[in-house]
Amino acid sequence: MHRFAALLVVALALVAGCGPEKNTPAPPSSAAGANPADSFESSTTYETVARPVRIRIPALEVDSKIIDLGLRKDGSVEVPPSVAEAGWWDGGPRPGQDGPAVILGHVDSSDGPGIFINLHKVRAGTVVEVDRADGSTATFKVTKVSRVAKTRFPTDLVYAPSLDPTLRLVTCGGSFDQARGSYRDNVIAYAAAA
């Protein structure tokens, strides 16, 4: 604070008429030559991210190919036809691209486990790897896991766009509603780029 007070005192000298002087280093000017701005061309490309083709979660012994998923007629997300495969919702970002990529998998079939039977067991720090069609791999670490009623599914938190390169893994959980033939909850693992 005392330094600031001292600087204020110095500033009064400026009011009294001490103006700044021009410095000696020559500005890096090329006024006499060609202007580099004359040949400027704007970028017309950007770095794209390839489609996801495989997911691996070593801690859960998950290793599956990934298929593309769209929307059903009722507006809900499609799910993989096989309980042994994961699916990527292709209406959103690709894993590793800016934004939330969403991969879904079944918790079970009618008589056995599905690929995400143990998704509820992941913890903060669990590694998720997603291979892409160009041979690259995007690596994520789980940040949190939650279980929510499907009637209160957090569409915003799972799907809504931001520019953070994140991943969401979705499966079923909770109690099974025999009348409807479906689980009442979804288990959601949130992961961020590692």
Question: Least separation, in Å, of the C-beta of 48 and another protein?
Answer: 7
Nearest distance from C-beta of residue 96 to another protein, angstroms? 11
Query: Which residue in 109, 110, 92 sits closest to 101, CA to CA?
Result: 92
Between CA 96 and CA 94 the distance in angstroms is: 6
Give the residue with the Cβ less far from another protein, 135 or 155: 155
Nearest approach, Cβ of 3 to another protein (angstroms)? 6
Question: Least distance from C-beta 113 to another protein, angstroms?
Answer: 6
Nearer to another protein, 45 or 135 (CB): 45
Largest CA distance in the chain: 90
Residue nearer to another protein on the CB measure, 83 or 131: 83
Q: Please, which residue, 131 or 169, has the CB nearer to another protein? A: 169
CA-CA-CA-CA torsion sign (167, 172, 175, 177): positive
**Spatial distance between the Cα atoms of 124 and 146, rounded to a whole number of angstroms:** 11
Smallest separation (angstroms) from another protein to the CB of 121: 8
Pairwise CA distance, residues 69 & 186, whole Å = 17
Q: Which is closer to another protein, CB of 63 or CB of 164?
A: 164
Whole-angstrom distance, CA of residue 90 vs CA of residue 66: 11
Instruction: Report the C-alpha gap between 186 and 124 in whole angstroms.
Output: 18
**CA pair distance 142, 121, nearest whole angstrom:** 11
Would the CA dihedral through 170, 176, 177, 179 be positive or negative? positive
Of the two residues 41 and 61, which places its CB atom closer to another protein in the complex? 41
Q: Which helix (H) or strand (E) holds 192?
A: strand 182-193
State the nearest-atom distance from the C-beta of 143 to another protein, in Å. 11
